[in-house]
Structure 1
Amino acid sequence: MPATSVISVLDDDPYVRAAINNLLESRGYIVHTFASAEEFLSSTDSSHTSCVVADVQMPLKTGIDLLTQMRAQGSVTPFILITAFPDESVRMRALEAGAICFLGKPFVASDLMQCLDRALAAGDRTME
């Protein structure tokens, strides 16, 4: 893992944000947290992130909507989508939109870390 990997965590639940933040920081990542897609998009961090971990169900703009918008704008930033409501149709929409992983809450820390490894490897390939 490069020391400069910045992970942006988007979830409207402050407890989920804090838990993911603590996990990722304990593994040496730089973590920025956001309560909404709009907050993320209005920050300078949105263009300097190595990976986005976003909740599917957020007010105003869902994680899938954010992913679709960023892809339409030419961003290749890897996305991991998480949700408390992991049904198959949502999973398919997330993967078709370009998500690297789709995890149902609650998830095991090792599953998130495996997804993050895949996402960062995919991001490295797009930088070459």
Structure 2
Amino acid sequence: MSVASVISVLDDDPYVRAAINNLLESRGYNVHTFASAEEFLSSTDSSDTSCVIADVQMPLMSGIDLLTQMRAQGSATPFIFITAFPDDGVRVRALNAGAICFLGKPFAASDLMQCLDRALAPDHQTTS
């Protein structure tokens, strides 16, 4: 029996966190939700995360800043970014920083699941 992947969802909007949590749990994933990057970093759950789904714009530390910090610390955890402001410049920054996907809100559940499948694949590749 395989162990379900642990997905960490970071978004300052509680409704977005709940919606993504419900979607992923319905697909068999273990989900941990966080209201901020700081909450995620201070959690013991951050070390066993298989993938991070993070909002780009959060108070204090942005999702891209979190990714940059984690990469500097040697983490290769895949990142999927979601944002209500899908600016091309931000998209390029996110993908250049190593994000697997960059989705504008609202997004289709199927798009998020495709990104997650790609992120959890052994040979994951970035895409927009």
TM-score, length of structure 1 as denominator length: 0.93
Matched, 1:107 2:101: no
Question: Which letter maps to 1:12?
Answer: D
Q: Which residue of 2 aligns with 1:40?
A: 40
Q: Which runs of 5+ in 1 are unaligned?
A: none
Pairing of 1:16-55 with structure 2 (within 5 A): 16-55=16-55
Q: Which residue of 1 aligns with 2:80?
A: 80
Contact 2:54 2:80 in 1 (8 A): yes
Which consecutive segments of 4 or more residues in structure 1 shift more than 2 A? none
Contact 1:3 1:28 in 2 (8 A): no
Question: Which letter maps to 2:112?
Answer: L
RMSD value over aligned CA atoms? 1.1
Contact 1:54 1:80 in 2 (8 A): yes
> What is the deviation of 1:125?
4.5
Distance 2:105 2:16 in 1: 9
- Identical aligned residues as a percent: 85
Q: Which runs of 5+ in 2 are unaligned?
A: none
Question: Which letter maps to 1:47?
Answer: S
Contact 2:6 2:29 in 1 (8 A): yes
Distance 2:71 2:4 in 1: 23
Could you report, residue by residue, the CA deviation over 1:62-104 in whole angstroms, capped at 9, with x for unpaired residues? 0000000000000000000000000100000000000000000
TM-score, length of structure 2 as denominator length: 0.93
SS at match of 1:107: coil
Contact 1:3 1:29 in 2 (8 A): no
> What is the deviation of 1:112?
0.1
> What is the deviation of 1:13?
0.1
